[in-house]
Amino acid sequence: MIHRLMGTLFLFAGSAFAQEDGTLVVDRGLPRANWNDTAGVTARSNVRWTLYSQGFVGDDFVIGKAGERWVVNTLRVWAVPGAFGAEPAHLGDVYQDLRLYVGGPEEDLTPVVSGRLARGSNAVEGADVAISEATDAPLYENFGAHLKIYQIEFRNLNLRVEGGQRYRFGAWGLGRSAGEKGEIYPWFTHGSNATQGEAPSDGADGRLLLFEAAGRYAHEYDATGAAWNKSSDLNVQIWARRAANSRSR
C-alpha cells in the first residue's frame, strides 16, 4: 500500500556522447504556489511519497516527437527525508546508497546509476550525482515539523531515448536502520499537484507508478481520494539534446 507522509526500447548508456547538458526538455519542477498547510487542505500543492521498504514510487516522462532521438544528460528530482522523529543533516546519515532507475513503458526497472553514501556526507561515491538543499522552496511541512528538501541531480547520464516514447523512472535510496526497533529508514520523493502548483508541469497526468524493491513494476496509482485529496505527479526536470542522427517524421 502506498502511504503519503506529510509526516526493448532504445535506452542505453554510451560514453561516446558529448557531456553537454543540452536544453531543459521536461520541466515538471517544484511548485511555485500553495505550499504547505498555510495554503489550506484543498489548495496545498506539495506532497512527498514513500513505499517504505516495500519499494519506490516512480513516474514517467516523454521527450520530443516520434522519429526523433535524444540523449538525456541530466535528470533532477527532489527528496524530503525526515521520519521517526528525526531530520538528518546529510542524506548519508540515513541512506546507504542512491540509485536512479529508467526504463521503457512495459519494462521493469534496473538502476542506470548507483553509488554509495557515507555517513555525514551528501557525496555519492561511484556516481556523478550532485545533492544540495533546495533554495527555491520553503521547508516542507509535515504535521507541524518543517523538513529540508534536497535537490538531486544525476549528471552525465548519456542515455539515448526515442522521441515520443514514454519512459518510466524512479529514484530510491536504501535506508539505514533507524531506532531501537531497527526499522529501515524510508525514502521520500517530492511530488505535487499540477493545477495547484501553478508551475510548468510537462507530462503531468495525475498518475504515479509503483515499483517493488527489485524494480519490478507493480501498478499505477492515483492518489485522489485515497492517500491524498488530489492527484499528484513526481517533480522532475530533464536536460537533453537531439542526437546527431535524429529526424522528425
The CA-atom distances, in angstroms, between 92 and each of 26, 98, 99 are 28, 9, 13
pLDDT digits (tens, 9 = 90+) for 126-165: 999 999 999 989 999 998 899 999 999 999 999 999 999 9
Closest CA to 128 of 95, 157, 171: 157
- Grid cell 525514502 is found at 187
Q: Where are the alpha helices (DSSP H) in the chain?
A: 194-197
- Grid cell 542512491 is found at 98
Residue 227 has pLDDT above 90, yes or no: no
Distance of alpha carbon 49 from alpha carbon 142, whole angstroms: 12
pLDDT number for residue 247: 57
The CA-atom distances, in angstroms, between 249 and each of 68, 72, 105, 111, 160 are 8, 21, 21, 31, 18
pLDDT digits (tens, 9 = 90+) for 181-202: 778 999 999 999 999 999 999 9
- Residue 85 confidence class, pLDDT cut points 50, 70, 90: confident
Mean pLDDT throughout 164-168? Answer: 97
| DSSP track, 182-215 | TEEPPP-EEEE-HHHHTS--TT--S-EEEEETTS
The residues, any chain, with a CB within 8 Å of residue 111's CB and separated by 6 or more, are: 99, 100, 101, 215
- Residue 246 confidence class, pLDDT cut points 50, 70, 90: low
| Amino acid of residue 137 | A
- Residue pair 134/30 in contact (Cβ under 8 Å)? The answer is yes
* Chain centre distance of CA 186: 14
Residue 245 has pLDDT above 90, yes or no: no
Distance of alpha carbon 137 from alpha carbon 30, whole angstroms: 8
The residues, any chain, with a CB within 8 Å of residue 95's CB and separated by 6 or more, are: 81, 117, 173, 174, 175, 176, 185, 187
pLDDT digits (tens, 9 = 90+) for 28-65: 999 999 999 999 999 999 999 999 989 999 999 999 99
Residue 170 has pLDDT above 90, yes or no: yes
The residues, any chain, with a CB within 8 Å of residue 227's CB and separated by 6 or more, are: 2, 3, 4
- What the block records as the C-alpha cell of 69 is 532521438
